[in-house]
Structure 1
Amino acid sequence: MFKRKLLALDYPQPETFNTEDENYFRNFIVWLEDQKIRHYKIEERTGLRNMPSSDWTKHFQKYLEDLGCPYQQSQRSLLIDWILGYSVRLEYGDNVDQYKTVTPEKVTQSKAPPGVSSNPLDNLDFDDPDFKAGIQSLSMILKVPPYQDHLEQLKAICLVVKDRLSKEALEKAEKYKEDNIEHLELEKTSLGFDTGDYIINEAAKILRLIHIRDLRDLQNQINQAIVAVQALIANPKTDSRLGKVGRM
């Protein structure tokens, strides 16, 4: 499932890549750090390079924290997918000119064969292991609860992105920030009761926060209506038909 990224990094013999063999895995991590990531200075890589050591996992944990990896060592598949993606981004940054050889004119001239869509989304394999791993990574980043059907989970991710990361949502969030509205974090939200199921607890917290947000929106609308009515009452106008000053 990692073959494409391994090929992009010129990893030796990607066909025999083995995530279960501990010694192989440690060699793989050291290879990435030495050849692609280079986050540490050479003298700082001693702990990672001492692969037979019983303290290797401690050094590796610190390495993951220094890289900002969101996954734990127990989540090996997700961890490998993340660190490979991180390495590919660095590889692109180091060789940006090499990847800019395709000009807009060449893209315009290259047409898809008859019967084949030019839209890359139409050619995606939604059952590809890399695609599924990508959905899992996005779910972890956006804190979307896991679901057995990866396509349904992708729909949930789309809803979260639309609700939180759209232009309107970002502008609304910025307005809340400017108005000094308290930001409520999911981790710090108290549900008030325990269902006994972590996923249900998290979903209930989300519903509670949405309810609080809706109440705030309603309160803002009420406040705006009160201000508008007060402004109207404070500015009486003459009603010539009644021959007196009236309230409009």
Structure 2
Amino acid sequence: MEQTTNIFGLRAIIEAIQSGSTINKIYLQKGLRGNLFFELESLIKKERIATSFVPVEKLDRLSKNKNHQGAVAQISPVEFNDLEQLIESTLEQETTPLFLLLDQVSDVRNFGAIIRSAECTGVHGIIIQQSGSAPVNAETIKTSAGAAFKVPICRVNHIKDAIYTLQASDISIVAATEKTDNLLFDLDLNKPLAIVMGSEHKGVNPSVLKIVDERAKLPLLGEIDSLNVSVACGAFLYEVIRQRL
């Protein structure tokens, strides 16, 4: 299994960004200054790369005490797809499109489990947001049982932009949310479709709920009022498959 690669050093990270490498996250030492730092900071803002300012001890661990110059970057082991190209190629296929949008699912184990379910149910692509989403790293790939190399993943600046793009191609958007009276089993899912799953703590963002085509929930018969997001996602995906088979 390919592992996430860490690169370190200000100049090395700048060159990685400029060469188009897919970077999950950059860790910077608190209080860092200097010309190279400001050049890197400008690139980070331009490319909207997730960043954390951390103590030097964390950078020492990430770089195994190499000369990191106060900066370590995690390179993604998978390449992200262009959303518009993926939609176009999917529409050319004979199967009914099925996409998955993750609205800031942040736990890597949940993310990996969702990718695995998506691969097993023939999802054509997973769309995540640049900020607030779990990274595609070694743990994600391990949890996905390698499915992260098989399912196209797109990373966008904002989930809402992806929804508008999908809707422009006549793909219906269904949000998984308890804020509805509609049960999933009552919806017609045998059409071009994208399912939105929300974050572990907040669910689907209210601003996202306003622009989806339909909302749906799963029946909960116990005392706990919500399911784990990866479990709920699997239930949603298999109801789509049940209706389409």
Alignment TM-score, normalising by the size of structure 2: 0.26
Which structure features the higher share of helix residues? 1
Which structure: larger Rg?
1
**More strand per residue: 1 or 2?**
2
TM-score, reference length from structure 1: 0.26
